[in-house]
Amino acid sequence: MQNPPPAASSGPQNDAAVETYTELLEQIVSGQPLASILTAIAELLETQMPDALASILLLSEDGQFLRHGAGPSLPDNYNQAIDGVKIAAGVGSCGNAAATGELTVVEDIQRHPFWREFKHLAHKAGLKSCWSQPILNRDQQVLGTFAIYHRQPQTPSDSELHTLASLSSLTCSAIEHSHLGKRHKLTQILTQHLPVGLIVTDHNHRIVDANPALCQSIGYARHQLIGQTPDLVAPSLDRRQFDRLLTQSRRRGGWHGELLCQRRNTESYVADVRLSQVHNEADELQYALLLISDVSESKRSQETIHYLANYDVLTDLPNRNLFYQNLTKRMEQAHKHQQRFALMLLDLDYFKEINDQLGHEAGDELLIKTGSRLSHCIGEKDILARLGGDEFGILVQQDWIDVAHSVIASISKPCRLRHIHQQRVTASLGVAIYPDHGDTIERLMKAADQAVYGAKGNGRNGYCLFDQQMAEEAREQASLHQELHTALEEEQFELYFQPLIHLRTGMVCQLEALLRWNNPRLGLVAPDRFIPLAEKTGLIRAIGHWVRDAAMRQYQHIEALGCAVPIAVNLSSAELYDDHLAERIIEQQRSHDMPPQALVVEVTESLLIDNKQDTQAFLQQLQQAGICIAIDDFGTGYSSLSYLAAFPVQKLKIDRSFVQQLQQDARKQALVSTMIDLGHALDMEVTAEGIETEQEKQLLLAQGCDIIQGYLISHPLPAAAIEEYLLQIS
């Protein structure tokens, strides 16, 4: 296969490689021995391709054989063995490459027919593959071969082939210069093969040569450049500036920097420029060499990378990374000058619901408009950033109260999304003051974050300044979180069970499993205190799994007693983030040999509304497995008939808030009656929760309610007590 000439970008790819190229050019110019130059070129390849071993063979005087040129990493006995290899088709990789004038790639020496007579030599040297590139001059005459060996079978990549071709061209320059033996013809050779732009000037700073790579890049023909000065290519390189760079180059052994260059069409581009010099026997300047590499694309890439690393693409605001950098600088300045400033964190209220209801495009539009509104609320010295999701950060130098009022007022103005939806959005703003509330980024951010939760706890649509009580509450939450882990490990949780009865028969028809936590430090901890924390920290998944496992074990116990009834377990909305939850529940049920109809999974009405598509698929999986589904706390989530009809639900539980003081409130009676009729119309069994009086029971019986649950029947009981209860009534 014939390798194409290397593209301009296939030369040295980093500063070290370019510097080595420059040094090699200077060695060739100054007439250094060919053997040392070839060794240096071979070592350069091995540096660019760390697993490779390079070999350069040179054409013998009679043109029949290849003689050793360089092989710095190959064993000496191997170099000696291949010294004098015959040039012929099928004679190893190098003999074939020289004979055909084409690249020869042998991926596996031991299996390739070209190496039949030499594979024992390669095996002894630990060589497994060999790719050989013929070294050709401009007339396509073979001057030698450039080979790459590997210690394992290997196929070359495009970049490796380009590197091989590029260094073969440089080797050609060295060989031809050695053959010519005349230094003044060097540039004619070099300029034909160097893959980056090259300008050669004489002692009068006039261009005496330029290679094809440069001409192609800037749009001038070679003859148009000859006799011109370098400022035609780099406008800043007038005679005075060029003299200054030559002085620096002489003093430092070279000059390296970036210059703004210009093409013939007046287009400007950034170039990486390396300047070196060649002196005559009197140590006078004879030539100056300028290696010119177009790095404008690289510069643009760097700018893009910098932008993506420091700015939010959606809002064009600084991101968390840049915000932290600015926060660090602001803290250093404030500490130095003994000043204060405010850190504000802002969350949009119910942003997830807007995303779910109107779509992500509307959510993105809201974030963009929020960023724009916030930018009009702050001063010139204040800093605004989008930290991620719907969270924004603001650094306020002074008058933070005015800024806070302005932010809340601005965000709460109606906002039209997607030219259709008029949306009123509010925000919760947390404020922390440096250094009062924190003297490090971590402490200050934590304080502001706690203040955000304070704003949400105060009803949202407002701001909250951090205070010490928040820190204490946060510490208590952190302690409780750690104790929750311990509770799982030491099985401090316990299930209580509350019976449900059929109104018309009075028989127990179901148990609801209710979680309790026997904390050694706090005693019995109510679920409403630790469940939200478990949901927030992700522990709810492990706790939910434990609850279902314990409930299923309890079913086995009461089944053995002969008084088995279905057991209901509650599901947290946070558990739905587990895409495999349905499979896990079904697997648990089957592993306990529990009939699927004996398991009831209760989900809240709000969960159905907030996650319609995901929840629907999840519930359908459970229904198909035979597991019963119940809607808990019905009436609190503003359901519609379309929502109820969309889900595979068999049971509906009316929230206790509708049952309390039912006999004294005619409107509640009407609402409860409607809910019962609605449930029956959808073929659902209806349960009323929180029944505490006989009057409530009778009213519900008269309205056609199917099942009741509450203290009138029984308080929640521990496992041993519920077993005794069931035995007594059976």
The confidence band for 646, taking pLDDT boundaries of 50, 70 and 90, is: confident
Query: CB–CB of 106/145 below 8 Å?
Result: no
pLDDT of 190: 55
158-180 and 186-193 helices, crossing angle to 10°: 170
> Do 461 and 426 form a contact (C-beta atoms < 8 A)?
yes
What does the pLDDT average to over 409-429? 86
Q: What are phi and psi of 179, to 5 degrees?
A: -70, -40
Residue of higher predicted confidence among 148 and 489: 148
Report d(CA 592, CA 371) in Å as an integer: 53
User: pLDDT confidence of 79, banded at 50, 70, 90?
Assistant: very high
pLDDT at 57 over 90: yes
* Cβ atoms of 42 and 52 closer than 8 Å: no
Amino acid at 578: D
pTM: 0.48
What is the reported pLDDT for 183? 45
Mean pLDDT for 408-419 is 87
Across the chain, mean pLDDT equals 89
Q: Residue 3 has what pLDDT?
A: 41
Per-residue pLDDT of 278-298, as tens digits, reads: 888 788 899 999 999 888 888
Average pLDDT (551-575) is: 93
Is the model's pLDDT at 544 over the cut of 60?
Answer: yes
Six-digit token pair at 97? 């490459």
What is the reported pLDDT for 635? 62
Q: Which of 8-17, 125-134, 277-286, 706-715 has the lowest mean pLDDT?
A: 8-17
pLDDT of residue 640: 52
pLDDT score of 647: 83
Angle of helix 441-457 relative to helix 320-337, nearest 10 degrees?
Answer: 110
| 654: three-class secondary structure by DSSP | strand
Q: Tens digit of pLDDT for each residue in 647-706?
A: 889 999 988 888 887 888 888 889 889 999 999 998 999 999 999 999 999 999 999 999
Cα–Cα nearest to 671, from 689, 654, 687: 654
Which string of DSSP letters, residue by residue, matches 516-568?
EEEETTTEEE-HHHHHHHHHHHTTHHHHHHHHHHHHHHHHHHHHHTT----EE
What mean pLDDT is predicted for residues 17-42? 84
Residue 200: its H or E element: strand 197-201
CA 323 to chain centre: 19
Least confident of 11-15, 643-647, 697-701: 11-15
Q: Which helix (H) or strand (E) holds 220?
A: none
Domains of the chain: 8-179 (3.30.450.40), 196-299 (3.30.450.20), 311-466 (3.30.70.270), 479-729 (3.20.20.450)
**pLDDT at residue 185, rounded to an integer:** 52
Note the pLDDT tens digit of each residue in 80-118.
Answer: 999 999 999 999 999 999 999 999 999 999 999 999 999
350 band by pLDDT with thresholds 50, 70 and 90: confident
Examine the pLDDT at 324 and tell me if it is beyond 60: yes
User: Whole-angstrom Cα distance, residue 708 to residue 690?
Assistant: 8
Selected residue with higher pLDDT from 128 and 657: 128
Cα–Cα distance for residue pair 100/90, rounded to 1 Å? 10
* pLDDT, mean of residues 21-46: 86
Task: Give 166-205 pLDDT, tens digit per residue.
Answer: 899 999 989 988 876 644 554 555 556 677 899 999 999 9
